[in-house]
Amino acid sequence: MPSKARVAVRKTYKLFIGGAFPRSESGRTFEVDGNNVALASRKDARDAVLAARAAFGKWAGATAYNRGQILYRAAEMLESRRGEFPAEEVDDAVDRLVWYAGWSDKIAQVYGSANPVAGPYFNISSPEPTGVVAIIAPSSFLGFVSVLAPAIVTGNTCVVVTPAAVDAITFAEVLATSDLPGGVVNILTGSVAEVAPWLASHDDVNGLDLTGVDNAELALTLEQSAAGTLKRIIRRSSPKWTDDPGIGRMTAFLETKTVWHPKGV
């Protein structure tokens, strides 16, 4: 029996905003290794920030254990789709997700404290998420996972700009099937130089991770733009995503809240 002729279905790699996969509002695309990828615009960046802000309250209010379970589920899903990711990076990416998932309900014990004070009071310091974090991710898949996981496991929501478009959007499909609420992670693919300045100066972005910015002049411009709204910043060299996982990337986007409470009699 002769084989049936058919036309292959080409995949277009879209953006990931608010738990959905929209095309860029500009209609623009660019090519990555023969794949058609959405080219994000300023309007897409604004939409991503709105989605991240809308998701923040619920995500920050979730239990640390629940956030850890979702990150672990993402590791499970990544393991099941490992053939779609760079073979030399996927093992470390899975391990890094599991490592950060394990820290979800422990970081408060390490970073928080019960403070000795004079008087009949409890004085307790506890970490809280900073808010919406804009992340300029490294170009590798492992680098992408390494900067994303610590930001969200501590309760922040994020907008990630990445040139690693195909791997990042494929990973978005992993996140979309891992019980992660829509808007916690938003991914913009395309030009860092075009999109990042709008995020750096955005009034509703609370933190900025410049790990993936390899242009010193652009990094300085982004820092200067972020200064107007007093954003917390991770510079490219501190801490390095290539280092073994540590709490530095988690605490970078945590605020410390101290509460006084009278002791009962």
Q: What percent of the chain has pLDDT over 70?
A: 97
Amino acid 265: pLDDT: 58
Q: Which residues pair with 234 in a beta bridge?
A: 209
- Type and span of the H or E element at 112: none
Could you tell me which residues come within 8 angstroms of residue 169 by beta carbon, excluding any fewer than 6 positions away? 13, 14, 15, 16, 21, 37, 187, 189
d(C-alpha 49, C-alpha 134), whole Å? 9
Hey, what are 183's tokens? 């808007």
For Cα atoms 243, 247, 250, give the angle at the middle one, nearest 5 degrees: 105
Query: Which string of DSSP letters, residue by residue, matches 16-47?
Result: BBTTB-PPPTT--EEEETTEEEE---HHHHHH
d(C-alpha 206, C-alpha 198), whole Å? 13
Please check whether residue 221 is in contact with residue 65, taking contact to mean a CB–CB distance below 8 angstroms: no
Q: What is the pLDDT of residues 87-126, one digit of tens each?
A: 999 999 999 999 999 999 999 888 888 888 888 888 888 8
d(C-alpha 57, C-alpha 165), whole Å? 28
All structural domains of the chain, each given as residue ranges with its CATH number in brackets, are 14-262 (3.40.605.10)
Q: pTM score > 0.85 for this model?
A: yes
- Angstrom CA distances, 203 to 20, 58, 144, 227, 236, stand at 24, 21, 24, 11, 22
Average of pLDDT values for 35-48? Answer: 94
Amino acid 263: pLDDT: 81
Amino acid 205: pLDDT: 98
Amino acid 30: pLDDT: 86
User: Which stretch of 84-93, 172-181, 245-254 has the lowest confidence by average pLDDT?
Assistant: 245-254
